[in-house]
Amino acid sequence: MPHPSPSRVRLLVSVRDPAEAALARDHGADLIDAKDPDRGALGALPADIVRAIAAAAGDRLSSAVAGEPGDADAASACLAALAGTGVGYLKIAWAPGREAAGLRLPAGLPVIAVLFAEDGPDGADVPALAAAGFSGAMIDTRAKDGRRLTDHLPLPRLAGFAAACRAHGLLSGLAGSLRLDDIPVLAALGPGYLGFRGGLCAGADRTGGLDPQRIAEAARCLAAIVPCVEAA
């Protein structure tokens, strides 16, 4: 599956059901991400709902979070549970420096490692992720307490992470309580995707419903920005 060019940062919208998937699809989402916002940062949805979300995504790429396992064996089981749902990517929480021995990635299905900003990830973590067989890496925030990604990590560190992903041929993403006004600053760092949930919901409540106008505005903002980075 081709990775987006750094000249085109794309919009990931997390959805909880097929109706939200259709809403995100129709208002400009590039990647429709199945997630249960009532179960924390990376709460996995049941396989049947993920399958329905993938179908509702239509011609848009889809992904699904597979949870926050404590080790490689648990991660393998979480990934296997969603491997047949029809999504284009799976995402799994992964701690910086975690031992990958025993990790079994689904054949033919790209997996994105999600690192939490609170753990202080940076570009130095990327080579091990590539060696473990991950197809991409993303930084998100574990605690959904109103603090944004940039409250945890400075821009130079985020830029280094995105650059390391490009250098190792990995898809990259940045997320974590992002708002619309984060788009110009973060898109300029050249990630493959910027990920949103709460910032596109009414009242910025990630457990509430998506606001179609906010989705469309995020898509317009990203379409107008060309990051000043060079492809690796």
* Sheet strands (E) in the chain: 10-15, 31-34, 61-65, 89-93, 111-116, 136-140, 171-175, 193-196
- The C-alpha atoms of residue 39 and residue 57 are separated, in whole angstroms, by 22
3-state secondary structure labels for all residues of 137-199: EEEECCCCCCCCHHHHCCHHHHHHHHHHHHHCCCEEEEECCCCHHHHHHHHCCCCCEEEECHH
Q: Which residues of 97-110 are buried (b: 16+ CB within 10 A; e: fewer)?
A: ebebeebebeeebb
Mutual angle of helices 18-26 and 212-223, in 10-degree steps: 40
Q: Catalytic residues, which ones? A: 35, 91
User: Do 38 and 207 contact (CB within 8 A), yes or no?
Assistant: yes
The residue behind tokens 């821009």 is 155
Could you give the 3-state DSSP secondary structure of residue 22? helix
And the tokens for 159? 């830029």
Q: Given 3-state DSSP classes, what are the helix, strand and coil percentages for the chain, each rounded to the nearest 5?
A: 40, 20, 45
Question: Which H/E stretch holds residue 73?
Answer: helix 72-82
